[in-house]
Amino acid sequence: MNMNKADLFSWACEQYAKLGVDVEGAIKKLDGTPLSIHCWQGDDVGGLEAPDVKLTGGIQATGNHPGRARNMGELQADLTFALSMIPGANKVSLHAMYLDSKGSQVGRDMIEPGHFEAWADWAVERGVGLDFNSTFFSHDKSGDGSLTHPDPAIREFWIEHAKRCRKIGKYFGERTGKLCVTNHWIHDGAKEVPVDTYAPRMRLIESLDRIFAEPIDPALHKDAVESKLFGIGSEAYVPGSHEFYMGYAMKRPEVLLCLDAGHFHPTETVSAKISAMLCYLNEILLHVSRPMRWDSDHVVMLDDETRQIMKEVVRAGALDRVYIATDYFDASINRIAAWCVGSRNTKKALLAALLEPVALLRRMAGEGDLGGVLLVSQEQLTMPLGIVWDHYCETRNTPTAMKALEKINEYEKDVLLKR
């Protein structure tokens, strides 16, 4: 079969059409679903508060590949380059510790929109949205907890930090014209089983209620809370568990629940939770990652779980109720390659879900033809997804895989290795 690229794409469309799938319609939906790409892959979660930050709170980046971004200019340049190889609509997710301190020390309880003006300018110039994250870890006031700390003064510090993060998120929404989702994750927990597991959770409820007391226009800004099963140094108990935040999000429907693929027991899967959460919650936030043994935040692959996560969202017709973001960091390989591979795989998994013959599978299941469902769903795995993906990249002025690799290697030689 000797075909040019246009003929190959037409042939792929014909194969999907036989199953009742509209390829162009799927691509249109993919284009309308922005992916929020995390900034911290570029510098190993170092942030811009100080030149040498010691990570604490269950955060650990392993590896020492050359070329880590050392300042805002380098990080923005690396992000700009990475975004040029990630097709479709994108946003960038920032942590509060990536502020522009303008050469002075700024307490986290003192951060303001002005400290992120350079990021807003950068985003507006490139037409991308910005999401935000409060930073409760790696700080001298966070060693024994933050929003659950028994000392009211410590809690007050972090409550003020989170309040200010929300104002910065609103500012991002105003500047970019795109909704900003501000996510709140705390590392609080205990290495051994505590005597009292109830009181910290009650303090957390009180802290969160104060943080979210001031309403913000939901067209500009929304909040999310993120659970975790355990972390380094908090293996026995985490007050902000899935059950806790699930209950809190049900109590406060304006607050999104964040499901991180690495924040559950190894035998649990986020994909199995999505439809259950959508039965009760207005919207959810997904942090797409790849856990290995624990919440190790490996680069996202086009693996079964990532594909199933996207299938669950699409099958539920919930693309307008689910915000999708990446969250991983690998310092053992070229960091820009990690950005590109993980983000492209996330989008490719979503494209695969949009190309699934859902109507056919539902009809067959309704008729009791479960054997047919199994056959068609397995055939779907070898459908010409790659041809459609390459067409999507090329029509969005984005290189295909091997061309992207060439560009990444050139950037490493010309830029990263000279740092």
Same domain, 128 and 253: yes
| 376 C-beta neighbours (distance < 10 Å), count | 16
Same domain, 52 and 130: yes
At which of 335, 354, 373 does a domain end? 354
Helix (H, G, I), strand (E, B) or coil at 22: coil
Helices (H), 367-400: 370-379, 385-395
Same domain, 54 and 113: yes
The two three-digit tokens of residue 144, written as one number: 């024994």
Catalytic residue chosen out of the listed positions 228, 242, 298, 311: 228
pLDDT tens-place string over residues 11-68: 999 999 999 999 999 999 999 999 999 999 999 999 999 877 778 887 888 899 999 9
Rounded to whole angstroms, the Cα distance separating 219 from 210 reads 21
Catalytic residue chosen out of the listed positions 78, 223, 260, 412: 260
DSSP annotation of 231 reads B
The angle, 0 to 180 degrees and rounded to 10, between the axes of the packed helices 335-354 and 385-395 is 120
Domain that holds residue 413: 1-31+357-419
DSSP annotation of 182 reads E
The two three-digit tokens of residue 13, written as one number: 């469309």
Same domain, 162 and 188: yes
Active site residue 226: yes
Active site residue 185: yes
Q: List the one residue out of 200, 283, 187, 275 whose CA is nearest residue 226.
A: 187
Single-letter amino acid, residue 150: P
Active site residue 295: yes
Same domain, 52 and 147: yes
CA dihedral sign, ordered 2, 4, 9, 14: negative
DSSP state string for 110-130: S--GGGGHHHHHHHHHHT-EE
The pLDDT-based confidence of 102 (bands split at 50, 70, 90) is: confident
pLDDT tens-place string over residues 240-268: 999 999 999 999 999 999 999 999 998 89
Number of domains in the chain: 2
Same domain, 282 and 397: no
Active site residue 263: yes
Catalytic residue chosen out of the listed positions 49, 78, 188, 226: 226
Catalytic residue chosen out of the listed positions 149, 221, 242, 287: 287
Residue 85 sits in a domain of what CATH number? 3.20.20.150
Active site residue 228: yes
Helix (H, G, I), strand (E, B) or coil at 260: strand
Rounded to whole angstroms, the Cα distance separating 357 from 85 reads 28
| 282 C-beta neighbours (distance < 10 Å), count | 14
| pLDDT at 293 > cutoff 90 | no
pTM, two decimal places: 0.96
* Residue 91 Ramachandran class (φ > 0 left, ψ -120 to 50 alpha, else beta): beta
Same domain, 251 and 390: no
Same domain, 308 and 292: yes
Give the CA angle between residues 177, 182, 56 to the nearest 5°. Answer: 140
Contact 148, 207 (CB under 8 A): yes
Catalytic residue chosen out of the listed positions 122, 158, 185, 389: 185
Same domain, 18 and 100: no
pLDDT tens-place string over residues 144-200: 999 999 999 999 999 999 999 999 999 999 999 999 999 999 999 999 999 999 999
Residues paired with 92 in a beta bridge: 37, 130
Same domain, 266 and 303: yes
At which of 338, 354, 370 does a domain end? 354
At which of 354, 376, 402 does a domain end? 354
